[in-house]
Structure 1
Amino acid sequence: VFTLEELTQLVAIAATFKTMIISDEIHGDLTYAHNTHTPLGTLVEESGVECATCVAPSKTFNIAGQHFSAVICSSGTMYRKLTQRMETLRISPDILATVAASAAYSGGYGWLMDLNHYLSSQVNMIINHFNESNSGLLFVPPEASFIGLIDCSAIYERVAEEAKSNTDLYNPKLSPQGGLLSRFFGQKAAIAMNDGSWFGQGWERFVRFNFATSQGRVEAALKAITAAVAELN
C-alpha cells in the first residue's frame, strides 16, 4: 500500500513531466487495519495532473463474473473523452452487473469489514504455521488484498539440485509459464502458485500464495507445502 508521502511524490513527478496517471485501485477496499488506502484522485486537484482511477467490486465482493468496473475521472474533459470512446466502441455494463455492483457498494460495508477481519486472521494463521513448521519457509504478509509471498530462500538450492536429477518433472516445456519453485510445489504438493520469477530478477526464490478461501482449505494447502519441503533431500 503506497503511503501518502509516496503518492504525493508520484503526483509531483507526473506534474513535472505533464503526464496523466491511471491508478488501478481494484484492491483498495481490502486494505488491512494497520494501513491506509488513499485514493490517488484525491491528491491531484491542485497539481494540474489528470488522473483516471479504476475500481471494481469484483475482488472485494467476489462478483468478477459480472464484468463490472468503473473509472473515476479527475476532470470533465477526461470524462467526456472516455465516454465518447466507450460509446464509439459500444462498451457498457449490462443491467444485472449494474444492479449487483450497486447493491454491493450500497449495502456491503458490514460484509466487507467481516471479510477484512477474516483475511487478517488468515494471514496470522499462515505466519504461525511457517514459524512452527521448521520448514525454513517464511510468509511475507501483504498490506492489503488476499495474496502474499512465501520466501523459499532456505530451500531454493535444494530444489535446484533435485531439478538437475529429475529433469522430466521440472521440464520447462511442460509448464512454460512456470518456474523452479512453482513446478516443485505443483508436482510435490499439488498446490498451484505463481512463481516469483514472474515479477523480475531477484524474486525467483519466492512464490505467490492466494489465501482467499476457507480456513480449512488454507490449512490443508499449508500442510501439503510443508510436507513437500520435508521430503526434500
Structure 2
Amino acid sequence: MILKKIYAWSIHLFTALGAVLGVLAIIYSIQAAQANILDNSINYSYYLKLSLYCVIIAIIIDAVDGTLARTVDIKKLAPFDGALLDNIIDFTTYSIVPCIWIYVSGIVSENWLIPSIILITISSAYQFCQPNAKTDDNFFVGFPSYWNIIVMLMLCFQTNQVINQAIILILSIFSFIPIKYIYLSRLDNISKSKVVKFITLTYSIIASSITVIAVYLFPEKTPDEFLFIIITFIIFYIIFSFKLNIKPIK
C-alpha cells in the first residue's frame, strides 16, 4: 500500500513538472525578447528554441500523466486535485506561453498584436472553464486551445502575418461554437474500426514528430514537404471531427 501511495503521489509530481516547464518557457521567451532588442539574432533563436522545447516536453507530460493516473485509484491513494493542477498547467503552456511567443516573435502585425493576445486568452479562459469542455465519450467541445502547437507551427513554417491573423481569429471564434473535436490521446470512440483508430493514431504521431523536427530546425524554415503533411493532417482532423458531429458512432 505504501508503494502504491508513493507511486500515486509521484504521478502528481510528474504532472507538476509541467508547471516548471511552463515557467522556464516564459523565462526563455523573456531572454529571447531581450536578445531581440539587442539585435542579437543568434541568442534570440537560441532562447526561443529553448522555450519551444520546454513546451514540447510539457505536452508529452500532459499526454501521458492521465494514462499513468488511471493505472491506480489515484483519488484514494493521493487525495489531491490532479485535474485542477492539470488545468492550471495546461492554461499556462497551451495559452499563456503562446501569447508571449506572439509578442516576442512578430508573427502577427503590430496592429494585431494585442487583439491576437486578447482573442487567445479570452477564448482559452472560456474553454478551460466550460463544464462540458470534455465529453464523457472523450471529445473536446469547441476548439481545444491547441495554441501552443498552432503558434509553434507559425514560427517554424514562417507563415504570412495575414494568414496567422486569420487563423487566430477563426480558431478563437470556433472556441465558442459547440462542435466536438477528436481528443487525440483518447481515440476509443472515434470509430468501431481498429484500422481507423490505428490510422488516426499513426497520422497524429507522424504530425507530432514533424512538429518536433520543425522546432529542431528552427530558425531555419521547415521544408514545404513537412508543411504539406501537417496541413493534410489538420484537414483530416477537422473533417473527421465534423463527420463525427454529423454522424456519431453508436
- Shared fold (TM-score, shorter chain, > 0.5): no
* Higher Cα radius of gyration: 1
Name whichever structure is richer in helix by fraction.
Answer: 2
- Compare relative contact order (CA 8 Å, sep 6+) and give the higher one, 1 or 2: 2
What is the TM-score of this pair, normalised by structure 2?
A: 0.29
What is the TM-score of this pair, normalised by structure 1?
A: 0.30
Name whichever structure is richer in strand by fraction.
Answer: 1
